[in-house]
Structure 1
Amino acid sequence: MGNPYLEGNFAPVRQEHTVTELAVTGTLPPQLDGRYVRNGPNPMSELDPDTYHWFMGDGMVHGVRLRDGRAEWYRNRWVRTSSATTGGEVRHRAGIELFGANTNVIGHGGRTLALIEGGMANYELDEELETVGPCDFDGTLPGGYTAHPWRDPDTGELHAITHFFGRGDIVQYSVIGTDGRARRIVDIPIKGVPMMHDFALTSKYVVLFDLPVTFDPKQAAAMTMPRPLRYPTQLVLSALIGRVRVPDPITAMIGKRMHPNDRLPARWNPKHPARIGLMPREGTAEDLRWFDVEPCYVFHPLNAYDENETVVLDVVRHPRMFVTDRNGPNEGPATLDRWTIDLNAGKVRESRMDDHSQEFPRIDERLLGRRNRYGYTMEAVGGGSPASSVLKHDLVRGTTVATSLGRDRQASEFVFVPNADDAAEDDGVLMGYAYDLPSGRSDLVLLDAGTMETVAAVHLPDRVPNGFHGNWIPTE
């Protein structure tokens, strides 16, 4: 039986390209001066289709440089971690490396950073996407980072929640200043080692997702040990993980033995609670309040904001995760839901905003943590299938418009870029990669966010495999 995450446009590309002066259909907005970059799994080594998990492949960043209405270059580069090269140490000062930095790519403090969650090493890239090396923010944040930091639009600081199985019952909240150094680190006790893929941020609160996908000692033992040692290893990991800090020699051993193309060591755990935590942004773990929700899983929030004595939280909600499909996120339709947290009543009101199957939510991030009107997601054919349309949600009118990219096209995340710093919320472009099945190549597609009409398409020399997160990094 084949693995769908190794077929079609999930399959890795095998060549790195450098192409200049790309062909463009339509007109590129002349004010766009910067790079659109996107990260995703692209395994380098031989694979076992039975165990390969989509989240585990080596990272490859794809980028297009735009300036003066031209597409100056396209480059795709593997993130050259120790797992993506020959030799090298597995443990870096920036964190444990269990698999490649394959999930997100951002710009901050003059750096371009390829990110991965789980407290593993993130990597700095240069302007042309070549790997510089692991990054620990000038030594101020050792022990790894996350795939999903959020930038406060007022201060420019990066906020993040980092989970790592080796820290015992601790997750870490951190704030990275505009100088690229950590100014605040808070340890937060969380039982059971949940997979905290993302979090949300309001003007007042850090919003944590403690949901029933947790570290799986049985799978970790199967990935790292010969068969006779798997059961005792599982017992040791079960006794340690989630209760105390796992000694560095054990985490190092797991890092050395775990293959970057193995199955993800996490699974649905119906015994784990489903709850949302609110911690004041300048508070501590003692100030954290928990609110129960119906069991589900959330990879990504759309946005969150404070409104009187409530916190409004819009999320893409999966009914469950990693139950029947252990190789990818394919457990039924994921819908856009609203959770309204009533601070006085101590309860959460859950409602459905849109029932399309969808993922990869984005907003105009100048409104991150503030009330927004519009949100953009990618309609998926099902579970982990690639997107067929871009969905534009008007959260005030309660309407959703689906814009097809073409019957023979597949796309992943589209991001919003305003036309000017003071432009209105919907005055900008949406951009992302779309794969054209007949030609076997991808384009960088730009849509007018207001009309959802195509503005331009930059034609690439190869395909961009279905991947995860990207961002527009303007020229400083």
Structure 2
Amino acid sequence: MKETSTGEGKLITNLWEGGEGPQNRFMDGPFAPIEHEVTAHNLEVVGKIPEELNGRYLWCGPNASPFDPEDPRTYSWFTGSGMLSGVRLREGRAEWYRNRFVRDELTTPHLGVPRLPGPEPLSRREPYRDLTGPRFVEANVVNTHVWAMAGRTYAFAEAGVLPVEFSYGLDPVARCDFDGTLNGSWTGHPHRDPDSGELHGFSYFWQWDHVSYQVLGTDGKINKRVDVPVGGRPSVHDMAITARYAIFLDGPLQFDDRAHQEGYDWPWAWDREKSVRWGLVPRDGGAADVKWCALEEQTYTTHILNAFDLPDGKVAVDACTVPKLFLDDLTGPTESVSRLQRFILDPVTGSSKVETISAEGLDMPRLDDRMTGKQHRYGYFNRLEGAGAIARTDFEKQSTEYYKYEAGKAGIESIFVPRTPDSAEDDGWVLGYAIDVPTQTTEVLILSAQDLASGPIARIKVPSRPQYGFHSNWIADEELEQANI
């Protein structure tokens, strides 16, 4: 192992000695760089694609750029240049697969293409343009999520990075600040209100002493912003909404000046001294109305499944959490196994209670998005520890069902798609992808949500390996057609 110092203690980086010097696990195997953009038509299908699925299944993730070799000692999985991938399904056919670089300041010179048009990132604006920030922020690396809003398709990231708009065929169009309404930083993990269609998120930036609760309206513009002082510089990847609140964790993952000075690509590190609390921002209120609920033990929410209001005024939050992250290793989330926990928050007393539902490494939670902010029964996860699997948890029966990946294959997030707009909560399909590392190929999997154990009802053969991670979405053609009316 190699060691270097950061903060007050020692940082053991996730390196080993290889034939060409130190290696980083997030630059090898399923994480290895993708060097080419691929377009493939009329994909082979084993089984039958449901004819109701007309649209695009898209995913976004980091690619350890082959054009801009990183120092394995300081490279983080979280900061690889983005790549957008996906398949287009129509009337039971898989019409195409495409993967495209999300053009940033690191990749465009080597691709031989112009810099994307659009507004300048926050780091290039006053009063920040003379400060040297994290490398991925300076380069506007967008690598985290993909969403559609107001008839447009976007790749999202966080920490001061502007969204990038894409065409239907996944070609990058421009950097975007939602027609000048964004304060310069958006989120990598918004949540959509199923009743209003708005996207809600919390954004942060390495030079801010606050986080910003922002709401993106169906017109494609930010229509609400609340800056919440936090007295630190936390990383807030995920959040939740209920009918009454927008919710985030003010946690121990804080910007670390020494890690930044020493050149670590992701200079947010675990602060052992930081007290942890949930922030509940009333959706009809401002910064002065925020309710805080303290936690007794340090924890960090990697991802949040959902939250909902309880009849007694308390709030339930179902989240995947870790007891330690970026304390001994800044290359990626390697230090502890994810737990699925339910937090009960009391905005009157400022207290909280926590119950562990599962400690077996379930993460990347998704639900039927029609249940966002409402009491749900089902959640869909990927088991990332040990034998990889897609999981479906029934919170009412307190049971979990699995589809286990075949040997040599790995996946990272699966999503639920309802059969019809008014079908029952669990009536639909789970979509995911499985990378076959030995053959460098991929299968897009379609499973019955109510019977994961029986395996895929359709496997779509993709003749290449996409990037591994992070988040994905199903964007129905009908959604874009309605937005363009």
TM-score for the superposition, normalised by structure 1? 0.88
Q: Does residue 381 of the first structure (1) align with residue 379 of the second (2)?
A: no
- What's 1:394 paired with? 394
Post-superposition Cα deviations, 1:89-140, rounded to whole Å, max 9, x if no partner, equal: 9994353343510011111111111111112111111111111110111111
Would you say the 8 A contact 1:192–1:272 is kept in 2?
no
Measured in 2, the distance between the counterparts of 1:419 and 1:412 equals: 23
Identical pairs, percent: 39
Q: Deviations over 1:56-88 (max 9, x none)?
A: 110001110000000000000000122321275
Q: Name structure 1 gaps, 5 residues minimum.
A: 224-261
1:144 to partner: Cα distance? 2.4
TM-score after normalising by structure 2: 0.87
The C-alpha deviation readout for 1:11-58, integer Å capped at 9, x for no partner, is: 121111111110001100101111011001113211221111001110
Residues 1:185 and 2:225 aligned together? yes
- 2:269–2:326 CA contact under 8 A, matched in 1: yes
What CA distance in whole angstroms lies between the structure 2 residues aligned with 1:447 and 1:325? 36
CA distance in 2, matches of 1:373, 1:22: 35
Aligned to 1:319: 323
Report the counterpart of residue 449 of structure 1 in structure 2: 449
2-structure distance, mates of 1:344, 1:159: 24
CA distance in 2, matches of 1:463, 1:91: 30
2:120 — aligned with what?
93
Matched, 1:40 2:61: yes
Q: Which residue of structure 1 lines up, in the alignment, with residue 300 of structure 2? A: 297
Question: Is structure 2 residue 100 aligned with structure 1 residue 77?
Answer: yes
Give 1:267's aligned residue: 269
3-state SS in 2 of match to 1:82: coil
Change (3 A) 1:289 1:5: same
Conservation of the 8 A alpha-carbon contact between 1:93 and 1:142: no
Deviation digits for residues 333-388 of structure 1, max 9, x if unmatched? Answer: 11100101133443211111112112100000100000000001110126xxxx71
Instruction: Tell me: CA distance 1:269–1:310, structure 2 relative to 1, closer, same or farther (3 Å).
Output: same
Written as runs of structure 1 = structure 2, the 5 A alignment for 1:14-33 is 14-33=35-54
Q: Deviations over 1:255-299 (max 9, x none)?
A: xxxxxxx53111000111111011110110111111111201112
Displacement of 1:439: 2.5
Provide closer, same or farther for how the CA distance between residues 81 and 127 of structure 1 changes in structure 2, counting only shifts above 3 A: same
Q: 1:151-190 counterparts in 2 under 5 A?
A: 151-167=192-208, 169-190=209-230
Which ranges in structure 2 are unaligned for 5 or more consecutive residues?
Answer: 1-15, 17-22, 124-136
Amino acid at match of 1:204: R
Q: Which residue in the other structure is 1:51 paired with?
A: 74
1:232 maps to what in 2?
none
Correspondence for 2:353: 349
**Matching residue of 1:141:** 182
CA distance in 2, matches of 1:302, 1:16: 32
How far apart, in 1, do the equivalents of 2:215 and 2:418 lie?
A: 25
Report the equivalent of 2:131: none
Moved more, 70-79 or 292-301: 292-301
1:208 matched to 2:248? yes
Q: What are the superposed Cα offsets for residues 365-420 of structure 1, whole Å, 9 maximum, x if unpaired? A: 100000000001110126xxxx7101111101111122202122110100100010
Q: Which residue of 1 aligns with 2:334?
A: 330
- Equivalent in 237, 242, 245 of residue 197 of structure 1: 237
CA RMSD of aligned residues (A): 1.6
One-letter code aligned to 1:207: I
SS of aligned partner of 1:434: strand
Post-superposition offset of 1:430: 0.7
CA contact (8 A) 2:291 2:347 kept: no
Provide the aligned length of Structure 1 versus Structure 2: 433
Distance in 1 (alpha carbons) for counterparts of 2:467 and 2:116: 28
Q: CA deviation at 1:175?
A: 1.1
Q: Secondary structure of the equivalent of 1:220?
A: helix
Q: Distance in 2 between matches of 1:165 and 1:198?
A: 17
C-alpha separation between the residues in 1 aligned to 2:373 and 2:355? 20
The alignment partner of 2:262 has SS state of helix
Query: How far apart, in 2, do the equivalents of 1:464 and 1:116 lie?
Result: 19
**1:173 corresponds to which letter in structure 2?**
Y
Correspondence for 1:465: 467
Amino acid paired to 1:185: R
State how far apart, in whole Å, the 2-side matches of 1:344 and 1:92 are.
Answer: 42
Q: C-alpha offsets along residues 435-461 of structure 1, whole Å, 9 cap, x if unaligned?
A: 123432111111110111311111001
Q: 3-state DSSP class of the match of 1:443?
A: strand
d(CA) in 2 for partners of 1:300, 1:451: 25
- The separation in 1 between residues aligned to 2:198 and 2:278, in whole angstroms, is 23
- 1:79 and 1:437 map into 2 onto residues whose CA distance is 23
Is the contact between residue 82 and residue 90 of structure 1 (CA under 8 Å) also seen in structure 2?
no
- 1:292-351: per-residue Cα shift (whole Å, max 9, x none)? 112011121011000112100000010111012210001111110010113344321111
Rounded to whole Å, the distance in 1 between the matches of 2:437 and 2:253 is 34
Structure-2 change in CA distance of 1:90 and 1:76 (3 Å): closer
Comparing 397-406 with 25-34, greater Cα deviation is found at 397-406
Whichever residue aligns with residue 432 of structure 2, its letter is G
Query: Are 2:267 and 1:221 aligned?
Result: no
Partner of 2:457: helix, strand, or coil? strand
- Which amino acid in structure 2 is aligned with residue 326 of structure 1? L
Whether contact under 8 Å (1:94, 1:135) holds in the other structure is no
